[in-house]
Amino acid sequence: MINLKGQHMYLRALEPEDLEFIYEIENDQSVWEISNTITPYSKFLIEQYLANAHKDIFEAKQLRLVICNVEDVAIGLIDLFDFDFKNKRAGIGVLIKDEINRQQGYGKEALKLLIEYSDNHLDLKQLYCNVSEDNTLSLKLFQNQGFEIIGLKKDWNLIHGVYKNEYLLQRILK
């Protein structure tokens, strides 16, 4: 049995009932920098996305899970993206929606669970992530879970008229 439950949270698959939650996140301009989003998403598009969320990671090349607290409230999302079965690697990203739930250990637990899942069930060799140079909390989160900075992409993202550097981090699992 796959255990995607931590001490203070658990991960679950997307459900149609997550429409409003996903809509709020995808249209929150304060997190667009993290996801490289530049346009809002309609509820129609998110409904279509949720309708296809049942697809296998091998087909969709991504896996998005909802982070829920022990009260069964959705508080964030964690993703595997650019899933590459041949090379046994994937990108990983985590987002805790509301400021009040950040720095409470939810992201750390979610990341740890998805790393274990990636290693033990998807048989991945490595995970990587991209983190803005000034996102010190995310850098610390990933580094504390064994990710190493392997590169700096200079002037990588244009944010509010200013180019920002972005780190590439990697964790070898096997």
Give the angle subtended at the CA of 6 by the CAs of 8 and 128, to the nearest 5°. Answer: 115
Are β-strands 148-159 and 126-132 bridged in parallel, bridged antiparallel, or unpaired? unpaired
Nearest to 130 by CA among 85, 88, 91: 91
**pLDDT in 10s for each residue of the chain, 174 residues:** 456 999 999 999 999 999 999 999 888 877 777 766 777 888 888 888 888 887 888 888 999 999 999 999 999 999 999 999 999 999 999 999 999 999 999 999 999 999 999 999 999 999 999 999 999 999 999 999 999 999 999 999 888 899 999 999 999 998
List of domains in the chain: 9-127 (3.40.630.30)
Residue pair 133/98 in contact by the 8 Å Cβ criterion: no
Beta bridge partners of 169: 129, 149
CA 88, CA 20: separation in Å to the nearest integer? Answer: 33
The 3-state DSSP class for residue 164 equals: strand
CA 92, CA 55: separation in Å to the nearest integer? Answer: 18
- The pLDDT value recorded for residue 3 is 67
- The pLDDT value recorded for residue 1 is 45
Nearest to 5 by CA among 64, 83, 69, 82: 69
The label of the residue with tokens 């983190």 reads 131
Give this prediction's pTM.
0.91
- The pLDDT value recorded for residue 86 is 96
